[in-house]
Chain A
């Protein structure tokens, strides 16, 4: 399952709460977020996990507030089945990237992750067939 985030809603809530205050002052209030990152979030870019959680805390909402739903029939979990669902490390990925990403870039990275897991699973299945 994957979660789509309503970046429009997130951006609107951040802008509304910021009001007339400057980006720098608000970023200081939030803590651990730069003014430029805040500006990019308000422009609709997807924040990284740490920034996203800090913003949710500042807004006084839970992280689920901006999730618009779950896709159960796409993505790695749907393809690989429940047997791997509990193996958190199997599905983990560490991303070294900018603190905020345009949504198209995040989507492309997400697709790349899915493809990598699908290919690895195919190779594993092929290896099993060869052994049998």
Chain B
């Protein structure tokens, strides 16, 4: 069973997602590339495959041998967030990962304590289960807000077409359709 979200969070998340599109001058149903949102907030997205000077041993370990084990790393050099994104993943998964990381930042999640973590040179943020659940929910709203799903629904777009249009995975589209109840909204042929 997932961690319960606080009362009102889901409505807040849907509204927050639409606010971001307004900030970028986009319509509520428009696809919103997460990179554009990141750029709006001055958040750099780093593609390790284009990182000049990245040692080959690191690139080989993280982008070839073990590329399936990590998705993204959010760092705060000088206080400004930077996201290192695993760009070997599919475009839809990258988009989802970026939305998730941006969601943490938009939620204003702060770590309560910094704890050294085995194997890492610096402490890692201890995002608790509630924060992860909030970021999962808001991240999904950022990627696929309800108006976007309704737009697709009224155009009789199937899941596959919706995935292509919004650069989203089948799992995400299916989950959001279920979570928002848009499939039950009547529509005309």
Is B48 an interface residue, CB under 8 A from the partner? Answer: yes
Contacts of B115 in A (CB 8 A): 49, 53, 63
Contacts of B75 in A (CB 8 A): 92-93, 113, 116-117, 120
Contacts of A2 in B (CB 8 A): 116, 120-122
Cβ contact within 8 Å between B120 and A94: no
Place the interface of chain A in its size category.
35 or more
A-B interface pairs (CB < 8 A), number: 156
Partner of B77, one of A3, A88, A107, A116: A116
Is B164 an interface residue, CB under 8 A from the partner? Answer: no
Within 8 A of A (CB), among B144-187: none
Bound Cα distance from A53 to B118, whole angstroms: 11
Bound Cα distance from A51 to B50, whole angstroms: 33
Bound Cα distance from A94 to B118, whole angstroms: 14
Bound Cα distance from A102 to B69, whole angstroms: 9
Cβ contact within 8 Å between B118 and A47: yes
Is B73 an interface residue, CB under 8 A from the partner? Answer: yes
Cβ contact within 8 Å between A93 and B122: yes
**Chain B positions 113 through 131: 1 when the CB is less than 8 Å from some CB of chain A, otherwise 0:** 0111111111111110000
Contacts of A31 in B (CB 8 A): none
Bound Cα distance from A114 to B122, whole angstroms: 8
Residue in chain B with minimal CB distance to A116: B75
Cβ contact within 8 Å between B116 and A3: yes
Least CB distance, A67 to chain B, in whole angstroms: 8
Cβ contact within 8 Å between B66 and A92: no
Bound Cα distance from A92 to B149, whole angstroms: 35
Cβ contact within 8 Å between B118 and A106: yes
Cβ contact within 8 Å between B57 and A112: no
**Chain A positions 79 through 116: 1 when the CB is less than 8 Å from some CB of chain B, otherwise 0:** 00000000111111111111001111111111111111
Bound Cα distance from A106 to B124, whole angstroms: 12
List chain B positions with a Cβ less than 8 A from chain A: 46, 48, 53-55, 57-58, 61-62, 65-66, 69-79, 82, 84, 97, 100-101, 104, 110-111, 114-127
Known: A92-B76, A112-B48. 9 other contacts (CB 8 A): A89-B76, A90-B76, A91-B122, A98-B69, A101-B70, A105-B70, A106-B118, A115-B53, A120-B75
